[in-house]
Amino acid sequence: MIKLEMEALPENVAMARVVASTFIAKFDPTLEQLTEFKTAVSEAVTNAIIHGYGDKRDGEFVTLTLSSDNRKIKAQISDRGIGIEDIEAAKEPLFTTKPEMERSGLGFTVMESFMDEVEVSSKKDEGTTITLAKELGEQQ
C-alpha cells in the first residue's frame, strides 16, 4: 500500500498522477488502462482541492491511498473539506457547482467510464472520500 499526503494545491495534482501511474505500472497494464487510471485519479484529486477546500485550502491536505488485490487496483482520495450534500446530483453528467470557473461537470462521468467501481462517501462539513477500483484482467 502507498499513501501520499499532499498539500491541497493545484500544482500537486501532477504529482498525484505520477505516483498513481508508477503504482499501476508495476502490474503491466495496457497503455489505455494506465491512462484511464491516471485520469480518474486526476479528477478526484482536483475535485478534492477545488471543491472540497475551494478558497480555504491553506494548510489543508489531500490523501491518496493506492492498493491492490491481485490485479484489482484501488485508489482512495480523501479530503476534509466541505463535503457533498447530494451525491446523486453531483454524479450527474454536466452537474457542477462552479460553472463560473468554467467547470464542465464531467469529472464523475470520466471516473465512472474509466474505472470499474466509483464509490463516494461524503458528509457535509466533514469531507469526502472517493474510492476508485479498476480490474486489470489477465496480464497481456
Ligand X SMILES: Nc1ncnc2c1ncn2[C@@H]1O[C@H](COP(=O)(O)OP(=O)(O)OP(=O)(O)O)[C@@H](O)[C@H]1O
Which residue lies nearer to ligand X by CB, 71 or 103? Answer: 103
Binding region for ligand X (CB under 6 A): 43, 47-48, 51-52, 79, 81-84, 90, 95-98, 103-108, 128
* Nearest residue to ligand X, by Cβ distance, number only: 107
Give catalytic residue positions. 43, 47, 103
d(CA 46, CA 107): 9
b or e along 106-130 (b: 16 or more beta carbons within 10 Å of the residue's beta carbon)? Answer: ebbbbbbebbeebebebeeeebbbb
Site string for another protein, 35-64 (x = CB under 8 A): x--xx--xx--x--xx--------------
Contact status: 102 vs another protein (CB under 8 A): yes
d(CA 74, CA 87): 20
Within the chain, strands assigned E span 2-7, 61-69, 72-79, 117-123, 127-135
Which residue lies nearer to another protein by CB, 56 or 123? Answer: 56
Contact status: 14 vs another protein (CB under 8 A): yes
Grid cell for residue 104: 464542465
Which residue lies nearer to Mg ion by CB, 115 or 136? Answer: 115
Q: Write down the residue that cell numbers 457533498 correspond to.
A: 84
- Contacting residues toward another protein, per CB under 8 A: 10-11, 13-14, 17, 32, 35, 38-39, 42-43, 46, 49-50, 101-104, 106-107, 109-110, 113
